[in-house]
Each structure stands twice: as structure tokens, then as C-alpha cells.
Structure 1
């Protein structure tokens, strides 16, 4: 037999094409979303990150420093200009309204930082 049968090769390629067409839109999500309590909560392995927290009374914390909104925006802009590959690990209390969290995310993205991770507390496992 001197000819190679191309039918199985074409079938495999079409299956791979369908798999990539289905999985490509799922890979475009830029936010890794963890709920406040989750079984899947694991610490990040990213070496370069900054911690951002918002308390129920609306106070903003950048790493260990408590800042008001204008100072926070200025500091996050400086960090964004210095390194756009920084991951922002966002910790928000459950009682914080979604609008405040969305506004905070907007400030972070306006500073050029697009890698945002929501930090969740690990759920207590059953005995």
C-alpha cells in the first residue's frame, strides 16, 4: 500500500478544532472569582502581588496601609506604572456592597493592573 489513509487524520483534526472552538471563549475571563467561603480557596502562588482590602465601613487598605480614596488611587496608579504584571489580591468583607467593590476594581483597572484575584476564606470541612 503506497498511499496514506488521510481520513483518520482529518477526523482527529476536526475534533481538535471543535474542542478549541468550545474552550477558547471560556479562557478569556480575566477575573478569577472566589466566593467569600469556598472549598477551592487556595493561596496564590504569584510572587509579585499587592494586597488590597476593603472593610465593611468602606476603608481601603493597600498592603498594611489604610488610605482614603484619592491617596489609594494615586498609590495604585504609581504601582501600575511601575509594574503592569502585578497581581492584585482583593479582599472584601461580605458586608461590603457590590457597588463599592466594582468601583475599587475600576480604579485598579484604570491604573493598568488587570490581574485581579478575589481572596476567599477556606470553608470549614465536615469532620
Structure 2
């Protein structure tokens, strides 16, 4: 007998992950996100509301408060041709004695400038609340 001993080579098991399918999936997801990202809406344009309602008839002219975008307020009293510029504290100070004189009959129209953020209108309502004005109407375009 020949001394022919056969030795089998042992193959080591490879413990590697096949990453080719994962790369394919990642490329497909990348393409999907690249296509959909420009379609996302990041901001919304808001138009101020308008109304077709008719103004209430009243014996006295209302007081008009205007909220401007730069933080100022305009106060137009009956008989004034132009609104006077006031700040939030000045608005409450000027309206408090008028409200005490006229009582609950005092009507105030609150208008927001088209460029003003809505926070300015809320600030105006807070000033009217400090002056204890309860009859406030939001003024819209007609």
C-alpha cells in the first residue's frame, strides 16, 4: 500500500454579510427622497379674510384701532381725519377714560394691517382688555 494519505483541506467558513442588496435599497431610497424633497411645502401664504356683511348702523362713530406690522398702533377717535400713533400702553391709557364716559355703548373696530402678523392684533386686544373695552369688532376688507 502506498503511503498516499489524502489530506483534505478544510475550508474556513466566511462570516461576511453580502452588502450589495443593502446598497441597492439605499440608492432607491436616496432617489425617492431626492424626488420628494422639493415637493414639500415649507410655508403657507395666508390671506386676510374679507366680508360682505354690512356695517351696523349706530348713532355714534366707532373708535378705530389699527395694528401695524412694526409694532405701532393707530388710534382714530371720532372726528379725527388720520389715526394717531400710539404704543400698547398709550392705547389702554387713552381708551380707559372714554370707556368710563360712554360705558358699554363704546364700539371699537380693530383692524390689522395686511402686512402685520396676527400677534399684533392679539396685542391690540390685550390693550383693549386692559382698558375694559368689551364691545370690539374685527374689521375686515369689504
Bin for the TM-score computed over the shorter chain: 0.5 to 0.7
Q: Which runs of 5+ in 2 are unaligned?
A: 1-46, 77-82
RMSD value over aligned CA atoms? 2.0
Structure 1's consecutive aligned runs of 4 or more residues displaced over 4 angstroms after TM superposition are none
Cα 1:67–1:41, aligned 2, differ >3 Å: closer, same or farther?
same
Aligned to 1:89: 109
Aligned residues: 88
Among 61, 85, 90, which residue is 1:71 paired with? 90
1:59 aligns with 2:90: no
TM-score by length of 2: 0.54
Cα 1:118/1:81, change in 2 over 3 Å: same
Flag structure 1 segments of 5+ consecutive residues without an equivalent. Answer: 1-34, 123-127
Please state if 1:80 is matched with 2:80: no
> Which is richer in strand?
1
Aligned counterpart, 1:44: 56
